[in-house]
Amino acid sequence: MNARTLLKNLSMPLALVAIWLFFALKEPAFLAPRNLSQLMVDFSIIGTLALGMFLILLTGQIDLSVGSGVGLIGGIAAVLTVQYGWPAPAGLAAAFLVALLLWALMGTLIVKERMPSFIITLAGLLIFKGLFWRVIHSSTVSVKGVEENLYSMISTYYLPAVTGAGLAVAVVLLVAVVQWRARAARIAHGLPAFSAQRAALRFVLMGAAVFGVVAGFNQSRGLPMTFLILTATAAAVYFLTQHTPFGRYLYAIGGNEEAAVLSGINVNRVLIGAYVLMGAATAVTGFMQTSYQGSSSTTVGDLMELDAIAACVIGGTALKGGRGTVWGVLFGALIMTSLLNGMNLMGVTPEMKYIARGTVLALAVWLDVRLGRT
């Protein structure tokens, strides 16, 4: 492995370590269990939206409407649940269905009418923002007014310590079985595979990381529901992109759409499917963000589309499509949320927060170009 490749692989972990060390030295409360638990909630919300954006960027498209969509879908669920008295599950399900329909419509316009995704989703940003404000009547709709409301519990429920530890054991065992079966399958087909010793080392490191995360959460209030949602979303997106034909089609379309068409891939169907999945991620993020804020107000979702895109780009996803990983997106989201969390603790002014976020994004793109990854 040459120096350039090593720098590629270590750039994000080193950046994350540097950010954490800086804030830990400047503000000791940064590494306090309670703040780390809060950071993970923020990370879960941005990470979930970024994973949806990842599917869109893989195809070489983009979606600028998701920030407004987060507010709109969360607002619809809040109004149905709080003002119209719908059961929380029914209100959330109805809003989720609206999201699928809206993003299916945008995807259809993009592929059927050959309209640029930048323009269509920019229009969606404006339309969804206007609809959102009309739905909540430009006021504040609290989602914490109903006792034991499932909506409010999305961001306030934490798993007990014993349950979290049991879940960690189950996840570690499941991943071990899956990895071992994958290794056995590669060997059976004569393909190169990790040695048993290296596979065991990876298992030990992965297990230590999982139990370390759970132990950290248990020092505060336990595993938050939002983190479980992110974990489930990341697992689903990873499986989709790495182990299904649909995932391979996403990479193929982003790499060379013309070649994908010639190879028999139904490009239009795949692109619409990607936008529908983006709608699902937007809905889930909308529920989490609205629950986290405690109400649906006109500021919910502001600029979240930029944070999602930034997380993907920082994580190595190519804006022109065809390249990116789930792990990279998660690293990018964690870098962004760590930066925001640390600046909040230090009392950094809003204008400086914007400058810092923009600088980090520009540096990530510059490093990407310098290392020859685009």
Q: Please tell me the least confidently modeled range out of 21-25, 68-72, 150-154, 264-268.
A: 150-154
Q: Is residue 303 part of a domain?
A: yes
**Span 109-132, pLDDT tens digits:** 999 888 899 999 999 999 999 999
Q: Is residue 260 part of a domain?
A: yes
Q: Is residue 311 part of a domain?
A: yes
- Tokens 């400058």 identify what position? 355
Q: What does the alpha-carbon distance between residue 75 and residue 162 come to, in Å, rounded to a whole number?
A: 35
pLDDT at residue 241, rounded to an integer: 93
Residue 373: pLDDT above 80?
no
Q: Is residue 337 part of a domain?
A: yes
Q: How far is CA 373 from CA 25, 161, 336, in A?
A: 33, 42, 21
Q: Is residue 269 part of a domain?
A: yes
Domain count, the chain: 1
pLDDT tier, 6 (very low <50, low <70, confident <90, very high otherwise):
low
Decide: 109 and 63 in contact? Cβ < 8 Å. Answer: no
231/197: higher pLDDT: 231
Q: What CATH number should be reported for the domain holding residue 42?
A: 1.10.3470
Q: Determine if the pTM surpasses 0.95.
A: no
Q: Is residue 277 part of a domain?
A: yes
Average pLDDT, the chain: 87
Residue 4: pLDDT above 70?
no
Helix pair 267-293, 245-255: axis angle to 10 deg: 100
Q: What does the alpha-carbon distance between residue 341 and residue 9 come to, in Å, rounded to a whole number?
A: 25
For the chain, where are the alpha helices, taking DSSP H only? Answer: 3-26, 33-58, 66-78, 88-112, 117-135, 150-156, 161-188, 196-218, 225-243, 245-255, 257-262, 267-293, 304-314, 326-346, 350-370
Decide: 202 and 21 in contact? Cβ < 8 Å. Answer: no
**Span 322-372, pLDDT tens digits:** 889 999 999 999 999 999 999 998 888 888 888 888 888 787 777 766 665
- Tokens 């995932």 identify what position? 247
Q: Which among 217, 225, 232, 230 is positioned nearest to 162, based on CA atoms? A: 217
Strand partners, 223: 159
pLDDT at residue 8, rounded to an integer: 63
Neighbours of 147 (CB within 10 A): 6
197/49: higher pLDDT: 49
pLDDT tier, 201 (very low <50, low <70, confident <90, very high otherwise):
confident
CA 73 to chain centre: 17
pLDDT at residue 322, rounded to an integer: 87
On the 0-12 / 13-18 / 19+ scale of CB atoms within 10 A, 208 is exposed
pLDDT at residue 148, rounded to an integer: 55
Q: Report residue 306 as tokens.
A: 């930029």
Q: Which among 150, 146, 136 is positioned nearest to 300, based on CA atoms? A: 136
Q: Among residues of the chain, what percentage have pLDDT more than 70?
A: 94
Residue 270: pLDDT above 50?
yes
Neighbours of 285 (CB within 10 A): 33
Q: Is residue 212 part of a domain?
A: no
Strand partners, 178: none
pLDDT tier, 9 (very low <50, low <70, confident <90, very high otherwise):
low
pLDDT at residue 374, rounded to an integer: 44
Q: Is residue 207 part of a domain?
A: no
DSSP code at position 146: S
98/262: higher pLDDT: 98
What residue numbers bound the domain in which 41 lies?
3-156+249-370
